[in-house]
Chain A
Amino acid sequence: QKEVEQNSGPLSVPEGAIASLNCTYSDRGSQSFFWYRQYSGKSPELIMFIYSNGDKEDGRFTAQLNKASQYVSLLIRDSQPSDSATYLCAVGASDMRFGAGTRLTVKP
């Protein structure tokens, strides 16, 4: 069974702080890694993807991948109340597996 684990949270940060979300995966052969954001009552929406070791930045979001440690993370800089949502880590392609999600609350 290919597992994707996330710190369950909930995670609460003040507005303007950095939020750090973590994910580990069990399948060493995985090549594709994604972060989805899901607002309550809505469907998941893609915010970041990463395939190579290292950092990938997109605006306030930075994804970090370490294949040797089987670890992927998402940093949200200058967190805003609108970032409050559940963040899902996803690994794989045709058999994309999702973590249970980390609920983030950004307090004004």
Chain B
Amino acid sequence: DAGVIQSPRHEVTEMGQEVTLRCKPISGHDYLFWYRQTMMRGLELLIYFNNNVPIDDSGMPEDRFSAKMPNASFSTLKIQPSEPRDSAVYFCASSPALTTGNTIYFGEGSWLTVV
């Protein structure tokens, strides 16, 4: 089975530019998560969706960040305008259900550098 697929794997962009990160969850998984990982703050939950509906976006740092899930097989995380402090690894993850016995499965991550 294909795992969670993220693109791009690496992106270097200039401050002020728009960044769009993409994710394809594992087929049949009802939950999709976006995490950000930095050395300083570790792995932080930004937002998660259930059946394409955003459930909790309390971790989204500010209005420059937005996430969408137009269908069950695709999600985007957008940063506009980007800033150097947004440099991090952004992980997308999915889960079949949030019940005992299930966990989340991570993609390979998108490594973002804002200069």
Q: List the A residue with the shortest CB-CB distance to B109.
A: A43
**Which residue on chain A has the smallest CB distance to residue B43?**
A98
Q: How large is the interface on A (under 10, 10 to 19, 20 to 34, 35 or more residues)?
A: 20 to 34
Q: CA of A96 to CA of B42 in the docked complex: distance in angstroms?
A: 13
- Among the stretches A21-29, A45-53, A73-81, the one at the interface with B is A45-53
Which A34-56 residues have a C-beta within 8 angstroms of B?
34, 42-46, 49, 51
Please tell me if B45 contacts chain A, counting CB pairs below 8 Å.
yes
Contacts of B33 in A (CB 8 A): 96
**Chain B, interface residues (CB within 8 Å), range:** 20 to 34
Q: Are A94 and B55 in contact (CB under 8 A)?
A: yes
Establish whether residues A99 and B42, one from each chain, have CB atoms under 8 Å apart when the complex forms.
Answer: yes
Give the distance in Å from the alpha carbon of A19 to the alpha carbon of B56 in the complex: 36
Question: With a CB–CB cut-off of 8 A, which chain B residues contact A32?
Answer: 100, 103
Is A98 a contact of B42 with CB atoms below 8 Å? yes
Other A-B pairs, 19, CB within 8 Å; known A45-B106, A101-B42: A31-B100, A32-B100, A32-B103, A34-B103, A42-B108, A43-B91, A43-B106, A43-B108, A43-B109, A46-B103, A49-B101, A49-B103, A93-B99, A94-B31, A94-B56, A95-B45, A96-B33, A96-B104, A101-B43
